Amino acid sequence: MTFGFRALMGFLMSFFLAITMSLFSPVVSGAPLTPEGFATGVVVGTVLGTVILALVPLIPLSMGFAVSCGAREGLLGWFLLKDVLLCTVLVFVISFVLTFMMTGFDAQFANRLLAPMPLIWVICYVVAIQVEPLCMLVASKVLRMPLPQGRPADGGQDEKEALT
């Protein structure tokens, strides 16, 4: 996976996750959703996520994590597991930075950060598994490179046979 592909995928995935987090974090936390807070969350989340995904090979690491959990590359379990690591890292880092920016660092910081995180993570995970195929397609079209695809570990066994 090239740096350009990781950077573009990082931008696209971060953009969708930043929108999701900016919409749902205030609601889950019981805070008001303001246009300024939403815009700040989207911009900061997108930039931060893009930098993380471009510089840290989190996408390949996420794919490796799915395989290390026993999922066969290219099958449903692999597609579901590979976003677990990606979402965990991005949701934690973006939440940490945005919580600090919006509310400051005081004795209640950890509570403001961690209390809504499980629900925010689930929402972001659902969004990630839905938009990742679109992001990969757009990135491959823009960069004019073939779409990276998982392949079954046995070299050709179809999914129905692999599940039995």
For 43-61, the pLDDT digits (tens) are 999 999 999 888 888 888 8
What angle do helix axes 76-103 and 35-55 make, rounded to 10 degrees? 130
Confidence at 149, pLDDT banded by 50, 70, 90:
low
Cα(131)–Cα(61) distance, integer angstroms: 19
Reduce the DSSP state of residue 153 to 3 states and report it. Answer: coil
pTM of the entire structure?
Answer: 0.80
pLDDT digits (tens, 9 = 90+) for 30-42: 888 889 989 999 9
CB atoms within 10 A of CB 77: 16
62-71, Cβ contacts within 8 angstroms, sequence gap of 24 or more:
62/86, 63/150
Cα(21)–Cα(7) distance, integer angstroms: 20
Cα(92)–Cα(70) distance, integer angstroms: 25
Cα(21)–Cα(121) distance, integer angstroms: 9
pLDDT digits (tens, 9 = 90+) for 106-143: 888 898 888 889 999 999 999 999 998 898 889 889 98
